[in-house]
Amino acid sequence: MNWNLPGTEKDPQSITADWTPSALTLIEGVQVKEVKNVLKNNGYLTEIYRKEWEVDGLPVDQVFQVTLLPKGISAWHAHQFTTDRIFVNVGSIKVVLYDGREGSPTYGMINEFRGGTLRPMLIIVPPQVWHGVQNYTDTTASLLNIVDQAYQYEDPDHWRIPGNTPHIPYQFS
């Protein structure tokens, strides 16, 4: 008996048995450290960064917070020398990375992560990897950036390209 309706499609695999997106190959140099919330009687506690996780072996020189209003987008950014470590500490944020480094084994690759209160994770973004963030929810969200080189006010190590550039094969929606 045919029970399908016109236009019916079967789901492909989207997630592995450990709930990692099945299609996810990490961009060269990118690392992700997922952490678990520690549930307490009066709330919960979340570790954000430990040197002993050995995610990059780099120093911590500064920590700053970026707050995104509902649906706010901040893209695209890259740094020549600075490693970003992004941790969404409030709400839910999409973190999208693009490898535009010619000669990189993952040149041209996009990585997309959704992290935050529900799925805490630290994302290590190496220098020269383009990144953008989007609060895709209706409540204010924020992320912490734990950088290995503090922001230089007079000479920021910060390059930008518009969020809708045709040179990155990703559209924030």
Interacting residues toward ligand T46 by CB under 6 A: 64, 66, 74, 77, 84, 131, 133, 145, 151, 158
Distance CA 73, CA 70 (A): 9
55 or 66: CB nearest ligand T46: 66
Paired strand residues for 64: 145
53 or 64: CB nearest ligand T46: 64
Distance CA 131, CA 109 (A): 12
88 or 109: CB nearest ligand T46: 88
Give the residue at shortest CB distance from ligand T46. Answer: 151
13 or 171: CB nearest ligand T46: 171
CA 116 to chain centre: 10
List phi, psi (to 5°) of 51: -55, -40
Distance CA 141, CA 120 (A): 13
